[in-house]
Amino acid sequence: MLRGFFEPESVAVIGASRTPGKVGHAVLKSLKSGFKGRIYPVNPNAAEILGLRCYPSVLDVEDRVELAVICVPAASVPDVLDECEKKGVRFSVIISSGFSEVGRRDLEERLKGRKLRIIGPNCVGVFDPYTGVDTLFMPEERMKRPGKGHISFVTQSGAVGTAVLDVLSDIGVGISKFASIGNRVDVTEVELLRFLESDPNTRCIAMYLESVSDGKKFVREVRRCKKPVVCLKAGKSESGTRAAASHTGSLAGSYRLYSSVFRQFGVLEAKTLEELVDFSKVLASQPPMKGRRLAIVTDGGGFGILAADTAENLGFELPDFGSETGKKLREVLPDYASVSNPLDLTGDSDSERYRSVLSLVFSDPNVDGVVVIALLQIATLDEAIVDVLAECKVYGKPFVVCASGGEYTRRQVRRLERLGIPVFPSPERAVAAINALRLFSEARK
Amino acid sequence: MLRGFFEPESVAVIGASRTPGKVGHAVLKSLKSGFKGRIYPVNPNAAEILGLRCYPSVLDVEDRVELAVICVPAASVPDVLDECEKKGVRFSVIISSGFSEVGRRDLEERLKGRKLRIIGPNCVGVFDPYTGVDTLFMPEERMKRPGKGHISFVTQSGAVGTAVLDVLSDIGVGISKFASIGNRVDVTEVELLRFLESDPNTRCIAMYLESVSDGKKFVREVRRCKKPVVCLKAGKSESGTRAAASHTGSLAGSYRLYSSVFRQFGVLEAKTLEELVDFSKVLASQPPMKGRRLAIVTDGGGFGILAADTAENLGFELPDFGSETGKKLREVLPDYASVSNPLDLTGDSDSERYRSVLSLVFSDPNVDGVVVIALLQIATLDEAIVDVLAECKVYGKPFVVCASGGEYTRRQVRRLERLGIPVFPSPERAVAAINALRLFSEARK
């Protein structure tokens, strides 16, 4: 079990440093800022760091140490692991780099075959907002941490991981568990997949992979997994494959093979980093989509057209509204708005118009899911639109919101995302995201 | 000539209103906040609005009126135009809707065949940060205005236009001229194209079109145009085409035809709203790309791989660095970094490492353009990276930056964009944007 990585009672930071800017300092600071358990800095040359008593070796800690976070130079890591094993530490995260990715396979071999479990090396480690475990060496002022949520993210690239966390936090999306696995000498994406499958807070598993550690096991695990899995495969091209080898020592393998395995076994493939985030947001928050009939509601005609273009291109149907719905829509809409799908509420909409229209559209039996475009720049639309959109959750149908703009829009988007409503900055991305949900729902039928 | 729309000496707002939230109030407020010329509100029921003396009719204004912005109900617009002509007004923007887009072709006919020029109806009008002309009825607190820059934007959708302006302002990108043309009873995208071609501040022309007003003239004009033109064509699908008809009364026509005309005559097609913005940013700021040899420099391995995958897929070459460059790179890079393309400076890079590496990479004769990935979350990279990137302009080679993250990153991105350096939130978008530049450069050869 991998629980000890995310819910340890005590953590030692081996290679903790007094010097701001150093990894061993940043990791300790990150942990200290949120983790509720006991923290033990280890550094033979310091008595105290960040107000915590410091130990010369992990063996000197009087308490039980459940998780060791290791930031010492690569050459010292094997010895540190020996000490950890002696101490009875069961879980370790090795942040240090300088192993197979720089040709030091010999050094990497010496990490293997141990009793304690290892995440890494050459990674940024783990983050869990529920427990406050945070081994990321990116300072808070550079990179905000997301709050509690339902996406879990496994990544072979620390930079991809931290950039995504920073973006998620910025837009107000929470996560469940984050693991950067680096060269994965021990814990692999396959084992994490199984672990996250049984994690009650995880509703969607996002992965950035340069390769899989074991093809057969990967296939077996994704077939078993009932939760949606979204994968971004890097190293599709010749130069990308070459780069992957020197990045995490990965043999990237044929992209075509990956892509067809993904398709065959119900893994959603994200073609870009933005899709990885977009798809995960919808899959972690929305109920299944029971068919392919999509309604589009908008206050900007052009956005409605762009959404319709994308929707048809991706295989959605844009049905006419039922005659009953149509009649009622006619009553609540102004004369100059026409009842059709996409439904253009026009640029003088207020929250009340959205409310009455959305209740009719969501209740229409012809509609399986909804894209709501709400351009918030118009003067008639006040912040009450957030409540109106939140109310739409009661219909039990999946929906996504598109809102495109600057500061004011971003504030409202954060409020929406915190309420579990996925929002996208362009009509094309909104439709592509709900399409991922449809594909997942179809595959699971 | 259309200059009077963007540089009028005096503007009348006909249908100016005292009531906040009303279009005629918002337009007057927008104008007043930046326009340096003389402003005349026209409303028979008010003596003064927003501190400006109000006139019962445009005919009562003692001064010459160069531009009239019209916000009265559709039915009154023809009479207002009669008065404007009598007054000798030469330019008018009709914000009012309720014409062909709602089936009132009869009313729209009555706008035509006049001496004064018309932008609209059913539009949000014009914006020019150089002169302060601003007829947008979106309040400042909802939608910030971009500063002075070099992109001009012509749009058939007011909502698309205002959302894009809001986004541009948020990321720190300026514009030259903005025109929302709505039902375009008079001034068309073709005429604007010609006008913008001779506008010294315009370096790139972006267009959102549901249809072109006259295919032959459009082709003639884009062939003549030496500046890059980027087009997003909406109404590609059946339902999108239907929606376009009720939006701006457009006959959207065959998308395939548009797409092939674009390709044949050197118009860059943006497939999504984000591409429209992304491509325009690069085309308005970067010198031509003389070949297809791209260098990728990164501080995050995964981002480099994703960029390389996209680059190869789009037809770039990722050359090895010249032997001279390679030798020098080896000297400035730490041992654990390997000299290859993509070039991974690794996650402990500082600005100095970027500086020395970039000067070598940009000077390498094997390199035609550069994608610089700078993930700013790492503690070693401080704000000096902005200056380092700005210095790269001296090499005269095109480059784009990728920076992905939240608040801190956004602050630095704004600084970069204000310096004319285009920044993108994902590796795929960064590479696609510089590819647009390459395609334009190739087409112009």
Write out the H or E segment, with its range, that includes residue A389: helix A385-391
A18 CB near a chain B CB, below 8 Å?
no
Residues A246, A248, A254, A259, CA torsion sign: negative
Q: For residue A293, what is the DSSP state? A: B
Q: Which pLDDT band, with edges at 50, 70 and 90, does B102 fall under?
A: confident
Per-residue CA distances from B139 to A376, B20, B33, B145, B167 (Å):
11, 10, 11, 10, 15
B-chain residues near A429 (CB < 8 A): 272, 274
Please identify among residues 47-106 of chain A the ones whose CB lies closer than 8 Å to any CB of chain B.
97-98, 102
Whether the CB-CB separation of B441 and B290 falls below 8 Å is answered with: yes
Cα distance between residue A23 and residue A9, in whole Å: 22
Cα distance between residue B48 and residue B18, in whole Å: 8
CATH number of A1-121: 3.40.50.720
Per-residue CA distances from A422 to A282, A316, A426 (Å):
6, 19, 12
Residue B323: CB atoms within 10 Å: 9
- The radius of gyration computed from the CA coordinates of chain B, to the nearest angstrom, equals 24
Q: Please tell me which residue, B398 or A265, carries the higher pLDDT value.
A: B398
A259 CB near a chain B CB, below 8 Å?
no
B133: which strand partners?
B128
By DSSP bridging, strand B52-53 and strand A268-270 are unpaired
Per-residue CA distances from B207 to A429, B152, B212, B348 (Å):
20, 9, 11, 42
Cα distance between residue B293 and residue B364, in whole Å: 11
Q: DSSP secondary structure string, A139-189?
A: -TTTSPPP-EEEEEEEES-HHHHHHHHHHHHHHT--EEEEEE-TT-SSS-H
Work out the minimum CA distance from B299 to partner chain A, whole angstroms. Answer: 8
Closest residue in chain A to residue B24, using alpha carbons only = A379
Work out the minimum CA distance from A145 to partner chain B, whole angstroms. Answer: 10
Write out the H or E segment, with its range, that includes residue B309: helix B301-313
Edge-first strand listing for the sheet containing A117-119: A38-42, A10-14, A67-70, A91-94, A117-119
Strands (E), B197-336: 204-209, 229-233, 268-270, 294-298
Cα distance between residue A210 and residue A149, in whole Å: 26
pLDDT at A252: 60
Interface test with A, best of B181, B277, B377, B380 (most A CBs within 10 A): B377
pLDDT at B77: 98
The position carrying tokens 């096991």 is A217
Contacts of A209 (CB under 8 A, 6+ apart): A156, A189, A231, A232, A233, A234
Q: Which pLDDT band, with edges at 50, 70 and 90, does B256 fall under?
A: confident
Q: DSSP secondary structure string, A37-85?
A: SEEEEE-TT-SEETTEE-BSSGGG-SS---EEEE-S-GGGHHHHHHHHH
By DSSP bridging, strand B48-49 and strand B52-53 are antiparallel
pLDDT at A254: 81
B-chain residues near A144 (CB < 8 A): 406-407
A137 CB near a chain B CB, below 8 Å?
yes
Contacts of B169 (CB under 8 A, 6+ apart): A406, B143, B144, B145, B146, B147
Closest residue in chain A to residue B237, using alpha carbons only = A309
Quick: pLDDT tens for A152-176: 999 999 999 999 999 999 999 999 9
Write down the number of H helices and E strands in chain B.
Answer: 16, 19
**To the nearest 10°, the Cα dihedral for B319, B322, B326, B327?**
170
**Residue A296 backbone phi and psi in degrees, to 5:** -120, 125
Work out the minimum CA distance from B309 to partner chain A, whole angstroms. Answer: 5
Q: Which tokens in the block code for residue A204?
A: 């969607």
Quick: pLDDT tens for B400-412: 999 999 999 999 9
pLDDT at A247: 73
Q: Which tokens in the block code for residue B290?
A: 């003389």
Q: Kindly report, as residue ranges, where domains of CATH 3.40.50.720 are found in chain A.
A: 1-121
Whether the CB-CB separation of A339 and A333 falls below 8 Å is answered with: yes
Whether residue A142 and residue B376 make contact (CB cut-off 8 A), yes or no, is yes
Whether the CB-CB separation of B354 and B388 falls below 8 Å is answered with: yes
Interface test with B, best of A96, A209, A293, A309 (most B CBs within 10 A): A309
Residue burial A70-106, b: 16+ Cβ < 10 Å; e: rest: bbbebeebeebbebbeebebbbbbbbbbbbbbbebee
Give me the helices (H) in A198-350, please. Answer: 215-224, 238-248, 255-264, 273-285, 301-313, 323-332
Q: Which tokens in the block code for residue B147?
A: 């500063």
Considering CB atoms only, which of A243, A309, A378 is closest to B240? A309
Considering CB atoms only, which of B272, B375, B380 is closest to A21? B380
3-state secondary structure of A347: coil
Strands (E), B173-213: 175-180, 204-209
Class of domain A294-444: alpha beta
Cα distance between residue B214 and residue B229, in whole Å: 17
Q: Which tokens in the block code for residue A82?
A: 């020996």
The position carrying tokens 């795929």 is B428
Quick: pLDDT tens for B372-382: 999 999 988 99
Whether residue B239 and residue A312 make contact (CB cut-off 8 A), yes or no, is yes
Biggest CA–CA distance in chain B, Å, is 79
Q: Give the 3-state secondary structure of A207-219.
A: EEECCCCCHHHHH
* Mean pLDDT (whole number) for B19-48: 96
Q: Using 70 as the pLDDT threshold, list the residues of chain A that sit under it.
A: 248-253
pLDDT at B331: 96
3-state secondary structure of B255: helix
Cα distance between residue A327 and residue B110, in whole Å: 33
A341 CB near a chain B CB, below 8 Å?
yes
Pick the closest to residue B92 from B69, B63, B113, B114 (CA basis).
B69
Q: Kindly report, as residue ranges, where domains of CATH 3.40.50.261 are found in chain B.
A: 143-285, 294-444
Whether the CB-CB separation of B87 and B61 falls below 8 Å is answered with: yes
CATH H-level superfamily of B143-285: Succinyl-CoA synthetase domains (3.40.50.261)
Q: For residue A94, what is the DSSP state? A: E
